[in-house]
Amino acid sequence: MVDVTDKLDCRGEVCPYPDVKSKRKAKKMNSGEILEILIDYPLSAERIPETMKSMGNEVLSIDKVGVSEWKIVVQIK
Amino acid sequence: MAIDIVVVLIPGLILGIIFGFILQRGRFCMNSAFRDIILLKEFKLAKSVALTILVSMLGFSIMSFAGIITLNPKQFAWGGNIVGGLIFGIGMVLAAGCASGTTYRVGEGMMGSFIALLGFAGGAYFTKFGVLNPIAKTLQDNTKITNPDGSALTLFGDLTPIFMLIIGIVGIVIIGYFWIWRELRAKKRENKPLFDFSNFGHKTFKQGWHWAVTAIAIGIVACFAYVSSAAAGRNYPLGITGGWVGWNKFWNTGVDSALGWETWLVIGIVIGAFISAIIAKEFKLRTPKHAKTIVIQFIGGLAMGFGAITAMGCNIGNILSGFPLLSLGSLLSGAFIILGCWLMAYLLFMWRKD
């Protein structure tokens, strides 16, 4: 298990808030820190990892943790 | 019942179910597609929209030359196109989904989208038949320009069908080379298999589709939809707005004839998206976290409804179906839908933030 620095719960947020909030959060975090994002919106499950990668961060895992629920773990670079 | 089940109800419903299934698998939403260009610098859905339009354009022109369909582009009325398009574009950002996106998300169990849909259907109905009609009518009637014979203006006049063929082929080749071929080449460099058909069922039913697969699938559905819709007496490919207006009219007047091909298509989209979401375990009844969001989505829906009637089409009628027909009115409406989307996305998500 990695040590999660910060968590972001975007369940119940409509498009594109999960993406916008994750992006803002990731920008504020320091290099090496781990961000865990919880979402329930299918499009964001594919789009957030893409956005994180294009920001230069490393996507450690994308897990489907329930019905229409995903946990994305990102390491900030 | 005056509803023709064989020609109107069943074909509309079945095509709707297929369309809804693809929309949900491909997460195909034009609001996201246009907005993400500026907001997230993410182009997958925009590429998907572009390829869908080109596949439809090629298909429509071939079917037209073969005499299977009669091209029926929308009329040009710049006042309605500009004002309606802009308001629709602003509305879809607030509603968190375009007309098709909002419709398929109802099938995913998103209550916010359901509320937005009520606003959309209501706004469209009041603009088509009610208090807001004079505004739309004034904007359209005073700015309408047609060909001398009354037919709709298209980008290349009489040569439009042949240009549709050329643009369709050239466009698909360009997209194929610059986007798809390069993606494949990058895969090859990483020594990954070009086409991985393992876990085919899992990829088809459990994961989101590749943007090009979605685009080709929707383009093919659009071609079948044109034939089926024309057979039902509605000579136009896919559309959403008319479907929800039809349901509203039926509820208000009880007239069976309000339930045309498009009304069954939109119901089919919800059912198709529901089936797809259930299989992928993505169906969940969910309400937005903040009550304010629901109010904003409803207002966005209302704006979309007004805009769609004023611009003579939503993003499906004007962009997905209208761009392939090279209708000047649809091209203008579509341009302003995109501008409205960018304007609102900038104000909501980018201005004074980050």
Is A67 within 8 Å of B32 when comparing Cβ atoms? no
CA distance B96 to chain A (A): 6
Contact B273, B20 (CB under 8 A): yes
Residue type, A61: S
Q: With pLDDT > 90 as the criterion, what percentage of chain B qualifies?
A: 87
Lowest mean pLDDT among B199-203, B206-210, B276-280: B199-203
Burial letters B246-273, b for 16+ CB under 10 A, else e:
bbbbbeeeeeeebbbbbbbbbbbbbbbb
- C-alpha B233/C-alpha B305 separation (Å) is 24
Touching check for A61 and chain B: CB below 8 Å? Answer: no
Here the ipTM equals 0.90
What average pLDDT does chain B have?
Answer: 95
Contact B268, B65 (CB under 8 A): no
Is B40 within 8 Å of A51 when comparing Cβ atoms? yes
How crowded is residue B62: how many other Cβ atoms within 10 Å of its Cβ?
16
Residue type, B215: A
**pLDDT for the residue numbered B145:** 97
**pLDDT for the residue numbered A1:** 62
Q: Could you list the beta-strand ranges (E) of B212-284.
A: none
Contact B204, B236 (CB under 8 A): no
DSSP A6: E
Nearest alpha carbon to residue B286 among A74, A69, A71, A62 = A69
Touching check for A65 and chain B: CB below 8 Å? Answer: no
Is the predicted pLDDT of residue B266 greater than 60, yes or no? Answer: yes
Is the predicted pLDDT of residue B354 greater than 60, yes or no? Answer: no
| Active-site position among A2, A4, A12, A15 | A15
What's this model's pTM, rounded to 2 decimal places? Answer: 0.94
Q: Which of B27, B35, B349 shows the shortest C-beta gap to A46?
A: B27
CA distance B147 to chain A (A): 41
- Can you tell me the mean pLDDT for B65-81? 97
Query: How is B153-187 classified by DSSP, letter by letter?
Result: PBTTGGGHHHHHHHHHHHHHHHHIIIIIIHHHHHH
Is the predicted pLDDT of residue B1 greater than 60, yes or no? Answer: no
**pLDDT for the residue numbered B2:** 65
Contact B223, B60 (CB under 8 A): yes
Query: How is B252-268 classified by DSSP, letter by letter?
Result: HH--GGG--HHHHHHHH
State which of B45-59, B198-212, B245-259 shows the largest mean pLDDT: B45-59
Contact B273, B108 (CB under 8 A): yes
Contact B285, B109 (CB under 8 A): yes
Residues with Cβ within 8 Å of residue B199, at least 6 apart in sequence: none
How crowded is residue B186: how many other Cβ atoms within 10 Å of its Cβ?
10
**Residue B66: both structure tokens together:** 């073969």
- C-alpha B334/C-alpha B322 separation (Å) is 9
Q: With pLDDT > 70 as the criterion, what percentage of chain B qualifies?
A: 99
Kindly report, residue by residue over B19-61, the tens digit of the pLDDT. Answer: 999 999 999 999 999 999 999 888 999 999 999 999 999 999 9
CA distance A9 to chain B (A): 11
Is A14 within 8 Å of B39 when comparing Cβ atoms? no
The phi and psi torsions of A57 (rounded to 5 degrees) equal: -85, 165
Is the predicted pLDDT of residue B191 greater than 90, yes or no? Answer: no
Lowest mean pLDDT among A30-34, A44-48, B192-196, B311-315: B192-196
DSSP B286: B
Examine the residue annotation and report whether A15 is marked as an active-site residue of this protein. yes
Is the predicted pLDDT of residue B353 greater than 70, yes or no? Answer: no
- Can you tell me the mean pLDDT for B142-148? 96
Query: How is B95-156 classified by DSSP, letter by letter?
Result: HTS-HHHHHHHHHTTBHHHHHHHHHHHHHHHHHHTSTTHHHHHHHHHTTEE--TTSPPPBTT
Residues with Cβ within 8 Å of residue B161, at least 6 apart in sequence: B61, B64, B65, B71
